[in-house]
Structure formats: structure tokens, C-alpha cells
Amino acid sequence: MELINTILGTPLGYIIYFAYQLTGSYWLSVVVFAIIVRVVVLFPVSILAHKNSIRLLQISPRLNIIRKRYSGDKERLNEEQHELFKSEKYNPLVGVIPLVVQLILIIGIMQVMLNPMRHMHGIAEDSINFIFMGLDFRVIPSIFSPSPELIMLLLSGGSAFLFCLTTNALSPGALSQSDKTNNGMTIFTVALSLYLALVLPVGVAFYWTTSNFVAIGMVLLLNVMYNPKKLAPEALAATQAEKKSPEELKKERELNKKLKAREKQDAAKFREVKKELVFYAITGGQYKYYKTVIEYILENSETTIHYLTSDPDDSIFAQDNPRLIPYYAGQRKTISLMLKLDADMLVTTVPDLQSYHMKRSIVCDDIEYVYVFHAATSTHMIYREKAFDHFDTIFCVGPHHVGELRRREELAGLEKRKLIKAGYDLFDQLLLSYVPEAKNDKPVILIAPSWHSGNILETCIEDVLDALKRHGYEIIVRPHPQFTKLFRKRLDELEEKYAENTKQGEIIFELDFGKSSSIFESDLLITDWSAIAYEFTYSTSKPCVYINTPMKVMNPNWKKYGLEPMDIALRDKIGISIDTENIQTQLSDTVKKLLDEKETYKERIHEALSEYIYHPGRSAEAGGKYIIERLK
């Protein structure tokens, strides 16, 4: 305590002593002390924090996009946030400096107020009036022994509440945060103020109350000096638009309550039942990657399939088969279910086993973990380097997967996994669904990008549409469902900009993802790095234009493998790729060339199909047979 007093109490004591010499009144000296501390010590720090918060507000729309895009990928989310903060020179730690300084000062102020005469440097105690309006600044109030000093609890808590209201309404930091976060900070600040007023002398509570009112003035002044509504108007409008209404929040709470109850019930059933075979999916859309394999197993064995999904609206719940049993569990609950899994085999299309929420069981060490690809793309560029290291068996789409995974085993010193020549389930479904349509009255161009950062809709869609319109095409823009979910505002802007073309039937924004007729009926696809390119070309034998937006690279070491990724190798075999800066000058002629040479490209596509896909049309049999045999 003596050290604390020396470091903090003594310097602050000199300020109190100076203030008392200046005013001749103890309570006025506390007021002057609070002003000096706030203006001289905290105001420069507050300016720094305020400007830093404005920077956060300015980048908040981009930050929200990152948080939405990588909400299920904490490592990538942290990486992207760090890169954004670094490039925009925003430091999240700066915002807490004023609070930290305040808390440190409180420790010193405690020393001054608990031992006031120690810091008055010879002034006689009987010459100092410690009482103001009937309140003794040396007394620690007690709720068990009521006294007038208890009024300081109300003043301390009330001033803190007013300070928080002002901050929440004007501070750029608060404006960039959710109401839930701001409300939490308000509760914390008020609770801290009440606590300090209850356990420390009245003088501390009086200082804290005065300091809060001075702080309110500082917030108002900072708002005049650096007004966030003037410095970041667009970002502020976007942030406010993102906030949910009280009604929306209420509905969200009610839904979460129902889902929690449902999850608890399903998780209990999943734990209790004896399981041989388990399939796991994060989203409802992943069932299509298992569909024909599951159907083959049900038709050709007596095996019961337990299907665990983290999507409460998964279509699996509409299936009516007593041997296909669905369960719902959110990703957090899935962690514990996976750790205590007791089964013979788990099949999933979720990579990164052991890296994130999906871990191998700690109660059963002989489970066979099987990975099923949800795209025909290469394994060593768009996936993390260790994405498949902990799977026992991998259903490979084609020879490129086998080569890439064996190369990974060599480089990482891994034991050889079972690499099954399984083919591509979804491709087989598309082949069965595709019926060649009659020739379109005019060429139909489908634009279907990925939803990852830098996709066509984010970077160059206007250039693409402007290069194609008024050339006699019907242009269908089909965004990725996830992009539609996260960035609806961007689509609204595009629909408004091309409203006249939409009225004329030249440009169509297709947002109904329940049907895939446009994929089959289109004459040409334009995409970026989306796996839909392979699904389109392989099922329809029609070519594709690839826009060279920034590549999705999750493994920075992919070049060390010495293998050209399929994603790059096939671009100019089954279509033509164009750099973004050449869209306006090359796209129109490229589209015309591909439409005129469809038959030539059909042969190329068939060659690629035989080179890159195992067992076309028979992947269900290949995968289903393996699973049935392993479970015998």
C-alpha cells in the first residue's frame, strides 16, 4: 500500500493540496481536482480514443461484411479483421485506455481520500471543513446504518447513467456497436459507480460524480471537434441500418429459446441411441452431397443412418424413412457431441477435423472418419493446408485429389489414408436432372459468382452487365445464396440501377434458389472461382467464361506442392478466362466466340470429365458399397 501511495497517492495529493490552496474549500478542491484530472490527464487520451473510434466507425461496414462472411471460421475471421485493422491503422486497444487510466487514478484517489490529512502538507485538520451540505467526505456510507451520505449512491450511479446515455448517443465507438453491447457497458459502468460509492469515502463518490459531469461535457466537446456524423456519414447510416429493431430482437430471443429446447431434446436422443453410422452437416444445403450415397445405403443394407445437422431448417427433417433419423444441434453443442461420439463411422463434408469445432472422439478411438467432397476443386489451394490431415478415409472426386493428397502426405510425413475413388455425387444428380431444352429464342447468359471476398458482385458486376446489355441476350444474375443472405443491400442497389433493363426482360435477378432451371437452360455461364462452373459445364456440356477476380487461397504454401490446381488448369480448357481490367474490351467478343464454338467446347468438356471425375453416374454405388462393406 505504501508503494501505491508513493506512486499514485502522493502526486494526486499534491493536486488536491494545490486545489485547496487555490479555493480554500475541500469540496471545491475535489471539484477542481476532478476537472484537472479530466482535462489535463484524460482529455488528450480521450481525443486519441475518439479519433480511433471514428476510424472504427468508418470501417465498420467492411468489418460487418468480414464478420458475416467468416462467422463460422474464427481463425479466418481473426486474420481478416487483423489485416483490416492494420491497413486502416485502427488499434482496438486504444479505446480502453481512458477506462484503464480512470481505474488506475481511482486507486490513487482512494489513497488521498482515505488519508486526506497525509496529503495536506502541514495544514491543521481542524482548519479543514470536510463537510459539504451535511455530507462528511471522510465517511464510508453503509446501507445497514442509514445516513445522509447514502445520497451519494444515487448521485454517483445517476451521473454514470447520464454519462452512458450521452456516450451511447454521440460517441463513435458506441455508434458502431450493437445496442446489446452498449447496454452491457452502461450496466457495468453504473454498477461500478454504485460499488465505489458504497465501499469508499464520500469524497471518492463526490469526485466520481463530478468527473462524470465533466466527462459529459468532454463528450459534447469532442463531438463538436470530431463529429462522427460528418466524418463518417455513410458508415454511420449503414451501421444504424444493420441494427435490429426491438421487435426483431424479441422474435430472435423467442426463436433461440425454442431452438435451445429442441437442441436439448435431440442431443439427449443422439447421445443415448446406439449408432453405427453417423452423417454430419453444418448447413441444410449439404444434404445434396450425401443424397445418392445415403439412398444407396438405405436400399442395399439394413443400416440405420443417424444424421446430425447444425441447421434447424435442414430438409433432412422432411425425409420420411425410419432408418434415416435426423437430429438438430448447433455448432457449440456439436463440439461436446463429437468429443463423446460413440459410433463405427462418421461421414461429413466439413473439413478441418481437429482444427475447429469438430474434434475426434475422446471416448471411442476406433471411429472411422470419412470425408466427402462438396466440390470437384483441388485440395491444396482453396482449403487450409491441414484440412484433411485427420481423416481416415477420403472419398476422392478424381485423380487430381489422389495426387494432391498423396503429395500432402509426403510433405507433412503423414501416414497414408484410404483414398477411395468415389466420384462426385452432386454431379451425378445434375446429370440425371438435366434434360436438353429446346433452343432458346435468344442466347441466355447466366452470371453465377461465388460469395467469397472479391467476387464478381463485389468488384465488377457493372462492367460485366454493361458489356453484355443491348447485344440481344437474356442475362440472368444468380447470386450465391449466402451472398443474398448477407449482402442484400448490394443486390437492391443493382436491381435499382438496372431497373429499366429488368422491365424490358433483358436482365433478370434470380433470387429463388429452390429451382435450378436457369442453370440447365442457359447457353453460357459467367463466373469467377465458383465451383458451379464444373457443375454447369459437366452437366450441360456448355462452356464458361471465367472472370479472374482475386483467387480464394487458404493455403499460402500451395505452390510448394508442385501441382497445378484443377481450379486454374481447367479455366482455359472448358472455357475462356478474362482479367477484370479487360472485361469492357474482351467480354462481348469472348461470349460470342464461345456461343459460336459450342460444339468444339463440348468435346473439350467431355475430355475433362473423363480426366478429372471417377465413375460418372455411379458415385452412389462407389461410396455406398464402401460404407456398407466397412460396417459389416
The β-bridge partners of 327 are: 308
| β-strands 544-548, 575-579 pairing | parallel
The β-bridge partners of 576 are: 545
Higher local confidence (pLDDT), 99 or 492: 492
Specify the amino acid at residue 304: T
Alpha-carbon distance values, 161 to 145, 166, 253, 446, 448 (Å): 26, 9, 26, 56, 51
Specify the amino acid at residue 546: Y
Name the average pLDDT for the chain.
Answer: 87
Per residue in 533-567, is it b (16+ CB within 10 Å) or e — as a string? bbbbbbbbbbbbbbbebeebebbeebeebebebbb
Contact 119, 17 (CB under 8 A): yes
Residue 1 has pLDDT above 60, yes or no: no
Three-state SS for 575?
strand
CA 22 – CA 28 distance, rounded (Å): 9
| Neighbour tally for 519: CB within 10 Å | 21
**Confidence at residue 4, expressed as pLDDT on a 0 to 100 scale:** 56
Higher local confidence (pLDDT), 279 or 88: 279
**Confidence at residue 6, expressed as pLDDT on a 0 to 100 scale:** 62
Q: HSE (CB half, 13 Å, CA atoms) of 121? A: 12
Residue 164 has pLDDT above 70, yes or no: yes
Residue 341 has pLDDT above 90, yes or no: yes
Higher local confidence (pLDDT), 462 or 130: 462
Residue 338 has pLDDT above 60, yes or no: yes
**Confidence at residue 438, expressed as pLDDT on a 0 to 100 scale:** 62
Q: What are phi and psi of 129, to 5 degrees?
A: -95, 105
Residue whose C-alpha is closest to residue 12's, from 141, 167, 120: 120
Task: Kindly state the average pLDDT of the residues 336-349.
Answer: 96
CA dihedral 361, 366, 367, 371 (to 10 degrees): 100
Q: How far apart are the first and last CA of the chain?
A: 72
pLDDT level of residue 2 (50, 70, 90 thresholds): low
**Confidence at residue 12, expressed as pLDDT on a 0 to 100 scale:** 76
**Confidence at residue 41, expressed as pLDDT on a 0 to 100 scale:** 80
Alpha-carbon distance values, 510 to 159, 320, 447, 528 (Å): 54, 31, 10, 18
Task: Kindly state the average pLDDT of the residues 300-320.
Answer: 94
Which grid coordinates belong to 121? 502538507
CA 77 – CA 338 distance, rounded (Å): 23
Residue 42 has pLDDT above 70, yes or no: yes
- Across 95-104, 550-559, 566-575, least confident range: 95-104
**Confidence at residue 283, expressed as pLDDT on a 0 to 100 scale:** 86
Alpha-carbon distance values, 254 to 34, 251, 331 (Å): 46, 5, 19
Q: For 347-396, what is each residue's pLDDT tens digit?
A: 999 999 998 778 999 999 999 999 999 988 999 998 999 999 999 999 99
pTM attached to this predicted model = 0.75
Q: For 87-110, what is each residue's pLDDT tens digit?
A: 888 888 877 777 787 778 777 777
Which grid coordinates belong to 295? 439412398
Three-state SS for 346?
strand
Specify the amino acid at residue 398: G
Cβ-Cβ contacts under 8 Å for 154 (sequence gap 6 or more) = none
Residue 290 has pLDDT above 60, yes or no: yes
Task: Kindly state the average pLDDT of the residues 614-632.
Answer: 92
User: Which domains occur in the chain, in start order?
Assistant: 2-242 (no CATH), 250-424+619-631 (3.40.50), 434-612 (3.40.50.2000)
Three-state SS for 289?
helix
The H or E element that residue 583 is part of is: helix 583-596
**Confidence at residue 197, expressed as pLDDT on a 0 to 100 scale:** 85
Q: For 500-520, what is each residue's pLDDT tens digit?
A: 999 998 999 988 766 667 778
Give the number of residues written for the chain. Answer: 632
**Confidence at residue 39, expressed as pLDDT on a 0 to 100 scale:** 86
| Neighbour tally for 78: CB within 10 Å | 12
Task: Kindly state the average pLDDT of the residues 279-307.
Answer: 94
Q: What are phi and psi of 314, to 5 degrees?
A: -55, 140
- Across 44-53, 375-384, 404-413, 458-467, least confident range: 44-53
Task: Kindly state the average pLDDT of the residues 581-585.
Answer: 94
- Across 121-130, 227-236, 253-262, 572-581, least confident range: 121-130
Residue-wise DSSP of 248-287? HHHHHHHHHHHHHHHHHHHHHHHHHS--SEEEEESSGGGG
Residue 579 has pLDDT above 60, yes or no: yes
Task: Kindly state the average pLDDT of the residues 303-332.
Answer: 94
Contact 419, 409 (CB under 8 A): no
**Confidence at residue 72, expressed as pLDDT on a 0 to 100 scale:** 60
| β-strands 131-132, 135-136 pairing | antiparallel
Cβ-Cβ contacts under 8 Å for 576 (sequence gap 6 or more) = 543, 545, 546, 590, 593, 594
Which grid coordinates belong to 627? 460404407
CA 179 – CA 168 distance, rounded (Å): 9
CA 354 – CA 156 distance, rounded (Å): 50
Task: Kindly state the average pLDDT of the residues 99-123.
Answer: 72
Residue 332 has pLDDT above 70, yes or no: yes
Contact 304, 325 (CB under 8 A): yes
Task: Kindly state the average pLDDT of the residues 598-604.
Answer: 87
- Across 39-43, 89-93, 128-132, least confident range: 128-132
Residue-wise DSSP of 16-63? HHHHHHHHS-HHHHHHHHHHHIIIIIIHHHHHHHHHHHHHHHHHHHHH
SS (H, E, C) 447-470: ECCCCCCCCHHHHCHHHHHHHHCC
- Across 242-256, 529-543, 578-592, least confident range: 242-256
Q: For 206-262, what is each residue's pLDDT tens digit?
A: 888 998 999 999 989 988 888 887 877 777 777 766 667 778 778 888 988 999 999
pLDDT level of residue 455 (50, 70, 90 thresholds): very high
Task: Kindly state the average pLDDT of the residues 402-411.
Answer: 97
E strands, 143-275, are: none
**Cα torsion 398, 399, 404, 406: sign:** positive
Q: HSE (CB half, 13 Å, CA atoms) of 290? A: 29
Task: Kindly state the average pLDDT of the residues 612-617.
Answer: 88
Task: Kindly state the average pLDDT of the residues 198-206.
Answer: 85
